[in-house]
Structure 1
Amino acid sequence: MKQNAEKDIKFWMVLVPLFVMIFVMIVTVVKLEQGPHMPLIVGTITAALIAWKAGFTWKEIEEMMYKGIRLALPAVVIIMLVGLTIGAWMGGGIVATMIYYGLQIITPSWFLVTIAIICAIVSLAIGSSWSTMATIGVAGMGIGLSMGIPAGMIAGAVISGSYFGDKMSPLSDTTNLAAGLTGTDLFDHIKHMLFTTIPGLVIALGVYAFLGRRFAGEQMDAIGIEQTARVLQESFLITPFLLLVPLAVIVMVALKIPAIPALIVGIILGFFAQIFIQGGSTVGAIEALQSGFAIETGNDMVDGLFNGGGLDSMMYTVSMAIVAMTFGGILEFSGMLQSLMNQLLKVVKSTAGLISSTVAACVLTNATCSEQYVSIVVPSRMFSKAYKDKGLNSKNLSRALEDGGTLTSVFIPWNTCGVFILGTLGVGVVEYGPYAILNLVVPFISIFYAVTGFTIVKMTPEELVQRDLEAALEKEVVSLN
């Protein structure tokens, strides 16, 4: 593959596919309210034309796309397993059990703290902030408003809890995407995020405790929560023994068993739980794995939460990753991203500047591309080589991508996340923005760590040797071509 050193792509040409994709993304997502796939395809076509104009053959451009897709394949495998896990855990009553016991801890004087914790528990269980906000979040809005709590505060607490789980759950698509695209072990990625996300949650809960003091005297209408708990008991066999399934996965993680075997064990246990504990059929358990679990209880909240999961539910995310990586593949392997990085790295000289620039780039991508997946995919490819060159472990990059990409998407009104929250919770960014504390503080914690060097992990001597060998091999391959 010929690189940018041989194909002189001018800097202004590099900006063309980015600006075209951003413009089409804004029109398609914000104006037309459609998904981000088509804008990325338009961006891919534009990038291919620029590469062809620079002298690359169509065969070479095809190979760039294929190489980009190959980079996403580890994440794609995990994402598909996540869909299977959610379907199995839904059908097996494992998620229902976790939610049921979580609902028992609500108390009137600690509503904001409690709803944030419950959303965190649910989101950890299912790996989805959107599903959590659309179910538990909607119920929380009704209960909180009946207590006289401002809608922005309630929504902020719901968002903070939901995105904590979305960011830290091994079932989350964004978590797997960030780990997979940077070549970081999933559980190493999650453990490294603890350093920024746990302090962020503690700060958020402290703020909610302070804000909630003035509502301590209000009476809480717990009818909605009681009805939900009753429906869960009627629809599933709730038993603490089912908590052994997620516990088993946690134990395997602690024993450093790789993500794929750990998830497969969780899928198998959930599958058998649906048949032997919930009394479901084998056909129903298989359908839950393929197309997701389905249930009709008459309770909109429970039906909304438990109708989902399965392999099919992840195909949108899988196709998103593949399409995005065809775009990223052309940008990277044609040398366009390197040209862009060369301009940026002229002003970024330190580790602190690199990590801070990564966080800022993710925020900018959220604002311009209107999609949190893109805010992870594009910066991951832009900054990967720079992290290697500075001898930084890949989990520094994967954490910065999530700190800057996953969390800040809620602050952009035209981002798909901001649009979703407005439509689901009925609250706009201006109202909930100041109270989405976790999402606000974690990017600053990440930058603070970059400046101080705290928790910044360098490559081991063995990793440095491997990096240098790979770089030498790449140069040799290029010279042979």
Structure 2
Amino acid sequence: MTDQPKSNPLALIPFGVFILLFIGSGIATGDFYQMPVLVALFAAILVALFMNRETDFQTKMQQLTRGGGHPDIILMVIIFLLAGAFSSVAEGMGAVDSTVNLGLSVLPSNLLVVGLFIIACFISISMGTSVGTIVALAPIGMGVADQTGINVAITMGSIVSGAMFGDNLSIISDTTIAAVRTQGTKMKDKFRANFFIVLPAAIVTAVIFAFITSDPANAVQGDTPYELVKVLPYLGVLIFAIIGVNVIYVLMGGILFAGIVGVATGDIGLSNFVTLLGDGFQSMQNLSLLVILLGGLVELIRQNGGIQFLLEAISRRANSNRGGEFGIAGLVSAVNLSTANNTISIITAGPLAKQISDEYGIDAKRSASILDIFSSSVQGLLPYGAQVLSVAGVASISPVAIVPFCIYPILLALSGILAIVFRFPKFTL
């Protein structure tokens, strides 16, 4: 993956086919379920496979499988499967209902979505993974929507928003590590520069969620009974995630804990536990396959020169310090749109961003912040990105319906643009 294919704008055609079929057909028909995302993705892969006649078909198939089998992709699949199992077991033994009802008994209905956003912020910044945060909280978001009548797209948008906050800032996030390493700066310096830019966006996001969920019609009627023992599995997951335990350990421990509590309370038996595990794995199969195939498509596009074209086209437009910063922002955003993976987009765009920074005197911690800010904002708004797709899968709604309520990624991009225009922050503590 270190070779640099020759720049070729035509290599982006398969990606255009995917977007046209997946999103374009939904816009045209008004039904975003009309075109299954896997069908659109497979059509794009076929187009990519029959391009570049200089490469034989067998080699292109190897490129496809290599991209789909990338370590980051497989790790994401494992997280999806474990998260599906945890969600299934936790729901089966009553953990979701009890957790939501406990929240309803403590907080007014109009603050539950704000609470989801803040909790997601803490978990993601502690655990360093937006996907892990999302799949752990999505069932609770569904429960909040069911109990309060709040639009499920809003609750899911709040979870994605909080997850992207930590993805951008956490010192153990893949994106942060990649940004720091490619720009040659220190983690603490990047964090400080980044924090002052994104904090206003997080505060305004919380205010907006409070405002749009303040309708009295969202109030809960009647009692909200809960059993504290059934809350413990989710409480355990949240605590260990905030401590910073690896997401794999967190989810496996949550599955086992939920199973033990369910058996002890008589809500499920051992055979039910195994069945729930299987149901959870099965619920994530489509999403896992989608991520694998998307990884393969990205590798085909890269090998055909599509990513290299984006790198060269955008970098040529940087002609000043401020222009260089906008060039870095546009560079990583364009690559992220094409790869649907913010870590890979930073690793891909990072070396060229470093060259732009050196040429126009951009501080390393600032270029690292720009890379991370704009990749995270784009990733949190992609209807075909793992984050939005995962909550859409849990909620059984179109991912496009969730995107307008991913408020933090929208404000994150706006904060990044304002920071470049007004040269903010001019100093860090």
Specify if TM > 0.5: yes
Residue of structure 2 in register with 1:78 after alignment: 79
Does residue 410 of structure 2 align to residue 400 of structure 1? no
| Distance verdict in 2 for CA 1:362–1:403, change over 3 Å | farther
Which has more radius of gyration? Answer: 1
Match of 1:387 among 350, 365, 369: 350
Matched, 1:274 2:262: yes
Cα 1:122–1:275 shift into 2, 3 Å: farther
1:201-280 matches, within 5 Å, as 201-207=202-208, 222-223=220-221, 226-227=222-223, 229-230=224-225, 233=226, 238=229, 241-242=232-233, 244-250=235-241, 252-253=243-244, 257-277=245-265, 279-280=267-268
User: What is the deviation of 1:17?
Assistant: 2.6
Partner of residue 356 from structure 1, selected from 329, 333, 338 = 329
Q: Secondary structure of 2:290's match?
A: helix
Instruction: Give the residue type in structure 1 aligned to 2:250.
Output: A
- The residue aligned with 1:332 is 302
Q: 1:390 to 1:208 in 2, by over 3 A?
A: closer
1:85·1:266 contact (CA, 8 Å) conserved in 2? yes
Aligned residues: 378
CA distance in 2, matches of 1:313, 1:362: 30
* Residue 194 to residue 246, structure 1, CA distance change in 2 (3 Å): farther
Unpaired runs of at least 5, structure 2:
124-132, 180-186, 355-363
Amino acid at match of 1:104: S
8 Å CA contact retained: 1:332, 1:382? no
2:277 pairs, out of 277, 282, 289, with 289
Q: How does 1:149-188 map to 2 (within 5 A)?
A: 158=155, 161-165=158-162, 167=164
Amino acid at match of 1:66: T
Counterpart-to-counterpart distance in 2, 1:239 and 1:340:
50
| Matched AA of 1:345 | S
The alignment status of 1:313 with 2:312, answered yes or no, reads no
Deviation at 1:244, TM superposition (A): 4.8
1:136 aligned partner, one-letter code: V
Counterpart check, 1:44 vs 2:9: no
Q: Which residue of 1 aligns with 2:408?
A: 438
SS at 1:50's partner residue?
coil
Contact 1:24 1:39 in 2 (8 A): yes
Q: Any conservation in 1 of the 2:158–2:407 contact (CA below 8 Å)?
A: no
Aligned counterpart, 1:471: none
The residue that corresponds to 1:99 in the other structure is 100
Output the CA distance in 1 between the equivalents of 2:351 and 2:62: 24
Look up the match of 2:114. Answer: 116
- Give me the whole-angstrom Cα distance separating, in 2, the residues matched to 1:343 and 1:9: 9
Partner residue, 1:148: none
Asked if the contact 2:11/2:306 (under 8 Å) is kept, the reply is yes
| Counterpart contact for 2:315–2:328, Cα < 8 Å | no
Inter-partner Cα distance in structure 1 for 2:19 and 2:232: 49
Q: Tell me how far apart the structure 2 counterparts of residues 82 and 323 of structure 1 sit (CA, whole Å).
A: 20
Q: Aligned pair in 2 of structure 1 residues 440, 384: CA closer, same or farther (>3 Å)?
A: same
Provide Cα deviations, 1:371-403, integer angstroms capped at 9, x if missing partner: xxx7724x7655532214445899975653332
SS in 1 for 2:36: coil
One-letter amino acid of the structure 2 residue matched with residue 250 of structure 1:
A
Please say if residues 160 and 439 of structure 1, whose CA atoms lie closer than 8 Å, have aligned partners that are also in contact: no
Is the partner of 2:284 in helix, strand or coil? helix
Cα distance in 2, alignment partners of residues 313 and 210 from structure 1: 33
In the alignment, structure 1 segments of 5+ residues that lack a partner are 143-153, 292-309, 366-373, 456-481
Distance across 2 between alignment mates of 1:270 and 1:155: 25
* Cα 1:385–1:46 shift into 2, 3 Å: same
Q: Deviations over 1:93-128 (max 9, x none)?
A: 443343222111344xxx544443257659978637
What amino acid does structure 2 have at the position aligned with 1:245?
Answer: G
How far apart are residue 275 of structure 1 and its match?
A: 1.7
Is the CA contact 1:68–1:328 (under 8 Å) kept in the aligned structure 2? yes
Instruction: Call closer, same or farther: CA 1:75–1:318 in 2, change over 3 Å.
Output: same
Q: Which amino acid in structure 2 is aligned with residue 103 of structure 1?
A: L
Counterpart of 1:376 (choices 340, 364, 380) is 340
SS in 1 for 2:46: helix
Q: Distance in 1 between matches of 2:217 and 2:4?
A: 66
Instruction: Provide Cα deviations, 1:59-93, integer angstroms capped at 9, x if missing partner.
Output: 22122112211222222222222222322333454
Change (3 A) 1:261 1:208: closer
Indicate how the Cα distance of structure 1 residues 92 and 449 shifts in structure 2: closer, same or farther if over 3 A, else same: farther
SS of the residue 1:311 aligns to: helix
Which one-letter code corresponds to 2:277 in the other structure? L
Describe the shift of the 1:81–1:60 C-alpha distance in structure 2 as closer, same or farther (beyond 3 A).
same
Whether contact under 8 Å (1:78, 1:260) holds in the other structure is: yes
SS in 2 for 1:56: coil
